[in-house]
Structure 1
């Protein structure tokens, strides 16, 4: 068990311990009330049940837990939908610039023989490759 998992159980266990202590205190109080009814025993008490609540320790534990929380996951980047028309326009410009063979290779690398056969999920990948060729 790692510290993060342990930190999930510790507060619950502390609450259980506090509940048991409160129950023990109530039982003790009831017992003493019946015992004090006997002559000569009024005011005679032993040590009270242990008090588990320790606000300073609880505050330090909460502070430690807050300081050691894992960072919140970064929001997922916005997915931009690329259309067939956008890809066709960019590929046509690349082809007109003298890169027809590379355009053909990209389409085949995307698993198709012609642009209209390419899986729309690969349009973004295809545009990234086109930009690399255009920048070269």
Structure 2
């Protein structure tokens, strides 16, 4: 769950808690209106309803919301990995082939859409290298 979705759930739950608190306060006020305070009265006094008001915290939350939600953050530019070269792919595939995985090496090259390594599209070198390095004995 990302932080934006979590914040939405938290806000909704806070609103529900506020509503429950307001309801408890209304019940408390109603109980106090019907309460006659004298020494001989039976029963117990009403329990005070919870208070949620925390102005400093609410102000800080509003400030955070205005500064972080109104401006759309620029996506972080990930460092572009260095392009994978044919020599890098060839070295890993040769090691695999020497370790007895020649059939799997051929399957990888065919999965990259070529009949032999020299025919593989350079844009797929990274993909091919990842798959080859994921194999045992790479």
Normalised by the length of structure 1, the TM-score is 0.49
Q: TM (normalized to structure 2)?
A: 0.48
Higher Cα Rg, which structure: 1
Q: Point out the structure with the larger helix share.
A: 1
